[in-house]
């Protein structure tokens, strides 16, 4: 795997963990989601203004990506309503790499070598060990798995769409701007415009900045997937769960038990196989 792709995927993982840690202190998931969508809309709009319109072949991927992202946000909110954030987030992210590997093998015949496939499996298992809770309600687990299916679906669709477009930044600008519109509409429907504006006005630039930063993190992944295997880049990006645990330990004062430390070691071993085997 190209070292530049490895660096991009791991950088994206760190960015993803960082902005999720920043969101952790938020008072309201709905208003945070609204502000993140606004940040994505502004960033995507700026990219569109500079780079213009993607080729015709990219539009089916853009339409599919927007639809999947809307479903992703729906399942994510339902999961968070049913269970703990750590369980939902970890199970959904941990289940995605193997599903993406299967999808990439079926669609673009990217079949990992045995060692690479072992690395992808270790990343998934390690991520699950870091945060998934076996005592979580069944409903929460099912919503988390549904979210994982959405993550794997849009990861594959966006990777293929970026390749067809020939410019990962242009593709990401359009998909971010387009998916931000229904996200804004959903948050307004969920909370009501007056109450949402009142809550969002308390610290608006924080959420908007997170939306822009998340755009940059996902852009690194899409760019890496234009010249490196899709499943391997996705697996490296899901090391964000481990980065998040380390950020919580060193900066937020959270305790990490033996299971989470062992899970982090397993993830590191899997990432090493993906990157260097």
**Does the pLDDT at position 189 exceed 60?**
yes
How many structural domains is the chain composed of? Answer: 1
pLDDT digits (tens, 9 = 90+) for 238-266: 888 788 778 777 876 777 778 878 888 89
Cα–Cα distance between 253 and 178 in angstroms, integer?
38
211-238 burial, b if ≥16 CB within 10 A, otherwise e?
bbbbbebbbbbbbbbbebbbbbbbbbbb
pLDDT of residue 209: 84
Q: What is the mean pLDDT of residues 1-21?
A: 87
pLDDT digits (tens, 9 = 90+) for 30-86: 888 888 889 889 999 999 999 999 999 999 999 999 999 889 888 988 887 887 767
pLDDT of residue 24: 59
Q: Are 102 and 235 in contact (CB under 8 A)?
A: no
Q: What is the mean pLDDT of residues 190-214?
A: 83
Q: Within 10 A of 81 (CB to CB), how many other CB atoms are there? A: 12
**Does the pLDDT at position 136 exceed 70?**
yes
Locate 208 and state its tokens.
Answer: 């908007």
Q: What is the mean pLDDT of residues 126-135?
A: 79
Closest to 188 measured CA to CA, from 52, 38, 88, 69:
38
**Does the pLDDT at position 124 exceed 80?**
yes
Least confident of 96-100, 116-120, 158-162, 243-247: 243-247
Domain hosting residue 206, numbered range? 3-276
**Does the pLDDT at position 155 exceed 80?**
yes
Instruction: Give just the sign of the alpha carbon dihedral 236, 242, 244, 247.
Output: negative
Closest to 79 measured CA to CA, from 88, 70, 87:
88
Q: What is the mean pLDDT of residues 213-238?
A: 91
pLDDT band at 199 (very low <50, low <70, confident <90, very high): confident
**Does the pLDDT at position 93 exceed 60?**
yes
**Does the pLDDT at position 221 exceed 60?**
yes
pLDDT band at 165 (very low <50, low <70, confident <90, very high): very high
pLDDT of residue 25: 55
**Which one has a higher pLDDT value, 164 or 244?**
164
- Identity of the highest mean pLDDT range in 130-144, 149-163, 186-200: 149-163
Share of the chain above pLDDT 90, in %: 44
pLDDT of residue 27: 62
Q: Are 43 and 180 in contact (CB under 8 A)?
A: no
pLDDT of residue 23: 62
């Amino acid at each position: 795997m190209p070292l530049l792709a490895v660096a991009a995927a791991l950088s994206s993982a760190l960015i993803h963990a960082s902005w999720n840690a920043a969101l952790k202190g938020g008072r309201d998931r709905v208003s945070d989601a609204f502000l993140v969508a606004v940040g994505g809309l502004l960033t995507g709009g700026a990219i569109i203004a500079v780079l213009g319109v993607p080729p015709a072949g990219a539009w089916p991927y853009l339409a599919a990506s927007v639809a999947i992202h809307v479903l992703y946000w729906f399942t994510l909110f339902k999961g968070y309503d049913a269970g703990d954030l750590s369980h939902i987030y970890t199970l959904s992210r941990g289940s995605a790499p193997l599903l993406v590997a299967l999808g990439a093998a079926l669609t673009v015949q990217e079949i990992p070598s045995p060692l690479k496939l072992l690395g992808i499996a270790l990343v998934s298992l390690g991520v699950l060990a870091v945060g998934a809770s076996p005592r979580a309600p069944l409903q929460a687990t099912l919503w988390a798995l549904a979210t994982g299916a959405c993550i794997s679906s849009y990861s594959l669709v966006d990777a293929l769409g970026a390749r067809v477009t020939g410019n990962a930044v242009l593709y990401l600008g359009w998909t971010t701007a387009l998916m931000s519109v229904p996200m804004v509409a959903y948050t307004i429907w969920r909370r009501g415009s007056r109450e949402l504006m009142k809550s969002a006005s308390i610290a608006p630039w924080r959420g908007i900045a997170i939306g822009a930063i998340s755009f940059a993190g996902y852009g690194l992944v899409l760019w890496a997937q234009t010249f490196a295997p899709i499943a391997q880049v996705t697996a490296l990006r899901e090391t964000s769960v481990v980065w998040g645990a380390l950020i919580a330990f060193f900066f937020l004062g959270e305790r990490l038990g033996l299971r989470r430390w062992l899970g982090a070691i397993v993830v590191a071993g899997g990432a090493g196989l993906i990157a260097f085997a």
